[in-house]
Chain A
Amino acid sequence: MRLAAAVRQRYFDRMRPRNRQEDWQESRSFDPQRRRFLGGLAGAAWLAGTGGVVSGCSSSNVLRVPLAAVEADLLRVLAPSVLHGLLPIQPNERTDSLNELLSAVSTSVSSLSGDSREQLARLLAALDYRVTRWLLTGLWKPLAEASIEEIDEFLNNWRNSSIGRFNLAYRTLTRLLVNNWFVLPAHFAQAGYPGPPSWAVELNVLRDV
């Protein structure tokens, strides 16, 4: 893992910020060395994407709706770790839940503009392509072959990392799944939430304007 860390560091050093604004270095107070790391994850994914090496991802690297198979499959593989303790255990129920979740994710992606979809697509592409996956997660094997614990471990590494881009990747990926899980009425009870008052729901259904 020390090697992976060293490679990662070199790799992040080459990344560029998202904006064209060149004078931002003066305007920010934290040190330039660290700032370069911040370009990291989007950059890693960018490298993976533009190399034309990402199999199965749309050539434009913009997340399409419905999600491409490779992206949907990745989210399906991540969901049992991200939603551990929330997903039903019984296999049929679990499949149904995952389908419903993926459909909610798709709806949510459909309200994103090109740039946001591109960032998300790049992140997923980076997890799909072996070299970037290894750099980002330490896992050489496909995520579909990783255990819940292994995925949980890299998510925690991302979460606890001192490299901002990993924290961002953690927030982006987990939020996509947990937000879309908890907006579904079937899961309100897991948050102790009774849902909107029924009188107000009924009133609104009856409304004609």
Chain B
Amino acid sequence: MIAAHHHVVDGARLQTDQQLEADVVIVGTGAGGGVAAELLARSGLRVIMLETGPLQVARDFDMQEQRAYNRLYAEGGNLTTADYSIALLRGRAVGGGTTVNWTTSLRTPVQTVEYWVDRFGLPEVAEEKIAPWFDWAERRFNIKPWEVAPNANNEVLKTGCEKLGLEWAVIPRNVKGCADLGYCGMGCPLGAKQSMLVTTIPSALEYGASLYARTRAWKLEIRHGNVEALIAQALDEQSINPTGVNIRIRAKHYLLAGGAIQSPALLMRSGAPDPYRVLGKRSFLHPVNTSLARMPMAVDAFFGAPQSIYSDHYQWPDGAEGPAGFKLEVPPIHPGLAAGILGWHGEKLAGEMKELPRINALLALQRDGFDKQSPGGVVELQSDERGVLDYPLNEHLWDGVRRAWHAMAEIQFAAGAQAVMPGHLDAGFATSLAGVSAQIDRLPLEPYKAALFSAHLMGGCGMGANPRESVIAASGRHHQLENLTVVDGSVFPTSVGANPQLSIFAQAARMTTGLAREMQPGALADLP
């Protein structure tokens, strides 16, 4: 737990400019920054953590959607890609995404790892090399397959897959003392979720690190391939507008972990060298489409561990490359988010919302970035110099979306659904598989018509051996900046093909340990 004697500063309360010094300054406190902070502080290094969002702890987590979105998500949960076609759920509070994610903790699929090794020249992350880091992270965050029975929402996925003979598996979760409440997405009120907020951040603070919340890393001062300082802005109560108070931090090393939009954007704003124009490119999302089912029984998808079952049956249809593959999971369903997603108004909405307790939803996470036809998106700076992700939708993706709607509907009917509806404005509930299939074949594959989401932002500072096609080396070190390392979801050269938090934990731990041992010989002897 974060305690009174820890050095925690709320940027919103700062009255005067600050000049700080550290061995390492870490931008962002999510899965990457959190892991790095603990390891570096434990090595005896002076660490400063910067977090754009506010510090919110268990007692603030009241299980109300309203407060959760406004406090814990970027843009109050209304963030989108540049053309508004994909809604982005991005955690923005101390602990980053780990504070609000649904606890799914899957290892990077072996197919993905092999693709990275072969295609991007990364023997450092090969299966046998990365496995000890997964072992470490699974111990550190108490990650185990969920032992409790899945809630009825997840049960639909399991039953449907069983009936159809499709493969499915139990999801490992990073929880300790979980009461199966179902409010992971609003911040765990019990402190059971082993997010950065209750694990590595308090630990780093205990080792003497400092945490600045509501403080946004704005620019790096770069000279001759070296970062000389970082300028951060103190933000207002809403963590949106700068108060005018600036914080200048000089450090030996700069560690970026702001996520796949913020890390590239910070480098761009700072005019970081990018000789091969690769920065911010190859940004990936696992674009998600949904299928809703009206079940004969109560599903109550607002209660219970949000994600406990997944299916990779359709994940690798043709190996890593080729047609889009997708992972199947379910989301928790609470009224506010559900009402916004349904895409109805008036009496139609009122009627459907009454049936919410009987609704099951399936998600298909499209695995982007593997095939040539899946180049992902591009992070750019808007006129106000904030980062925005432009993610074009193309045929390759739409083909995956359409196949996923068919697959999800089949599973839902197999599990006993009375009616199924793809998440699309032109769709309606159909009472037979033939009916919904005919509908799916006709749906225009257009942005805004199709409801598309993502909670997984990846890439943009991809790692690779060749500086012509990557931003950082396997070590996490920037190809052109000697004292800058990136350790968040932006380092992945493709999407992961699984919910990314455990992949980020493992890569961040591997990269940070290397850095810590360089700066502090003999440090972290107990790590791989």
A residues neighboring B (CB under 8 Å): 17-21, 24, 27-30, 38, 81-86, 104, 107-108, 110-116, 152, 155, 159-160, 162, 164-165, 167-168, 170-172, 174-175, 177-185, 187-188, 190-193, 196-197, 200-201, 203-204, 207-209
Q: Given the known A-B contacts A108-B76, A192-B354, are A182 and B390 also in contact in the complex, defined by CB atoms under 8 Å?
A: no
CA of A166 to CA of B38 in the docked complex: distance in angstroms? 48
Check B63 for interface membership: any CB of A closer than 8 A.
Answer: yes
Contact indicator B380/A207 (Cβ below 8 Å): no
CA of A115 to CA of B381 in the docked complex: distance in angstroms? 12
Contact of A204 among B189, B334, B384, B447 (CB under 8 A): B189
Contact indicator B356/A193 (Cβ below 8 Å): yes
| Contact residues of B between 276 and 319, Cβ < 8 Å to A | 302-303
Distance in Å: Cβ of A30 to nearest Cβ of chain B:
8
CA of A208 to CA of B446 in the docked complex: distance in angstroms? 50
Contact indicator A183/B384 (Cβ below 8 Å): no
| Contact residues of B between 305 and 341, Cβ < 8 Å to A | 334-340
Q: Given the known A-B contacts A84-B347, A85-B351, are A183 and B335 also in contact in the complex, defined by CB atoms under 8 Å?
A: yes
What are the residues of chain B within 8 A of A24 when measuring CB–CB? 390, 392
Contact of A111 among B189, B240, B343, B425 (CB under 8 A): B240
What are the residues of chain B within 8 A of A179 when measuring CB–CB? 336-337, 339-340
CA of A180 to CA of B59 in the docked complex: distance in angstroms? 23
Check B190 for interface membership: any CB of A closer than 8 A.
Answer: yes
Contact indicator A191/B57 (Cβ below 8 Å): no
Check B18 for interface membership: any CB of A closer than 8 A.
Answer: no
Contact indicator A209/B346 (Cβ below 8 Å): no
| Contact residues of B between 377 and 402, Cβ < 8 Å to A | 378, 380, 382, 384, 386, 388, 390, 392-395
Contact of A107 among B66, B339, B353, B386 (CB under 8 A): B66
CA of A175 to CA of B339 in the docked complex: distance in angstroms? 7
Check B370 for interface membership: any CB of A closer than 8 A.
Answer: no
What are the residues of chain B within 8 A of A196 when measuring CB–CB? 62-64, 181, 183
CA of A174 to CA of B346 in the docked complex: distance in angstroms? 10
Check B131 for interface membership: any CB of A closer than 8 A.
Answer: no
- Highest count of chain B CB atoms <10 Å: which of A17, A165, A171: A171
Q: Given the known A-B contacts A28-B394, A111-B238, A191-B338, are A19 and B380 also in contact in the complex, defined by CB atoms under 8 Å?
A: yes
Contact indicator B356/A111 (Cβ below 8 Å): no
Check B467 for interface membership: any CB of A closer than 8 A.
Answer: no
Q: Is the interface of A mostly helix, strand, loop or mixed?
A: helix
What are the residues of chain A within 8 A of B58 when measuring CB–CB? 204, 207, 209
CA of A180 to CA of B353 in the docked complex: distance in angstroms? 14
Contact indicator A181/B78 (Cβ below 8 Å): no
Check B82 for interface membership: any CB of A closer than 8 A.
Answer: yes
Listed A/B pairs (19) with beta-carbon separation below 8 Å: A28-B394, A83-B346, A108-B70, A108-B76, A115-B386, A116-B78, A171-B343, A177-B345, A180-B336, A183-B336, A184-B66, A190-B354, A193-B302, A196-B62, A200-B179, A200-B181, A203-B189, A203-B190, A204-B62
What are the residues of chain B within 8 A of A159 when measuring CB–CB? 343, 345, 425
Tier of interface size on chain B: 35 or more
- Highest count of chain A CB atoms <10 Å: which of B82, B346, B375: B346
Contact indicator A152/B346 (Cβ below 8 Å): yes
CA of A167 to CA of B449 in the docked complex: distance in angstroms? 6
Q: Given the known A-B contacts A191-B338, A192-B356, are A38 and B83 also in contact in the complex, defined by CB atoms under 8 Å?
A: yes
What are the residues of chain A within 8 A of B356 when measuring CB–CB? 191-193
Q: Given the known A-B contacts A116-B75, A164-B449, A200-B181, are A185 and B334 also in contact in the complex, defined by CB atoms under 8 Å?
A: no
Q: Which residue of B lies closest to A173 (CB)?
A: B345
Instruction: For the complex of A and B, list the 7 residue pairs with the smallest distance between their C-beta atoms, beginning with the closest.
Output: A111-B76, A85-B350, A196-B63, A167-B448, A183-B336, A191-B335, A84-B346
Q: Which residue of A lies closest to B4 (CB)?
A: A209
| Contact residues of B between 69 and 83, Cβ < 8 Å to A | 69-71, 75-76, 78, 82-83
Check B465 for interface membership: any CB of A closer than 8 A.
Answer: no
| Contact residues of B between 432 and 466, Cβ < 8 Å to A | 444, 446-449
Contact indicator B70/A111 (Cβ below 8 Å): yes
Distance in Å: Cβ of A66 to nearest Cβ of chain B:
14
Contact indicator B386/A162 (Cβ below 8 Å): no
Contact indicator B66/A104 (Cβ below 8 Å): yes
Check B416 for interface membership: any CB of A closer than 8 A.
Answer: no
Distance in Å: Cβ of A190 to nearest Cβ of chain B:
6
CA of A165 to CA of B449 in the docked complex: distance in angstroms? 10
Contact of B181 among A172, A182, A192, A197 (CB under 8 A): A197
Contact of A190 among B70, B334, B353, B448 (CB under 8 A): B353
Distance in Å: Cβ of B57 to nearest Cβ of chain A:
7
Q: Given the known A-B contacts A19-B390, A83-B346, are A182 and B353 also in contact in the complex, defined by CB atoms under 8 Å?
A: yes
Contact of B335 among A81, A82, A187 (CB under 8 A): A187
Check B61 for interface membership: any CB of A closer than 8 A.
Answer: yes
What are the residues of chain A within 8 A of B14 when measuring CB–CB? none
Using an 8 Å CB-CB cutoff, how does the interface string of B157-201 with A read, 1 for contact, 0 for none?
000000000000000000000010101000001100000000000
CA of A203 to CA of B342 in the docked complex: distance in angstroms? 33
CA of A84 to CA of B348 in the docked complex: distance in angstroms? 9
Contact indicator A114/B384 (Cβ below 8 Å): yes
CA of A44 to CA of B124 in the docked complex: distance in angstroms? 52
- Highest count of chain B CB atoms <10 Å: which of A30, A165, A182: A182
What are the residues of chain A within 8 A of B344 when measuring CB–CB? 174
Q: Given the known A-B contacts A86-B349, A111-B240, are A21 and B336 also in contact in the complex, defined by CB atoms under 8 Å?
A: no
Taking A111-B70, A155-B345, A179-B336 as given, write out 16 further A-B residue pairs in contact, using a Cβ cutoff of 8 Å, ordered by the A residue number.
Answer: A18-B82, A20-B380, A30-B446, A86-B350, A111-B71, A111-B75, A112-B240, A159-B425, A170-B343, A171-B448, A180-B336, A183-B64, A183-B335, A191-B335, A201-B62, A204-B63
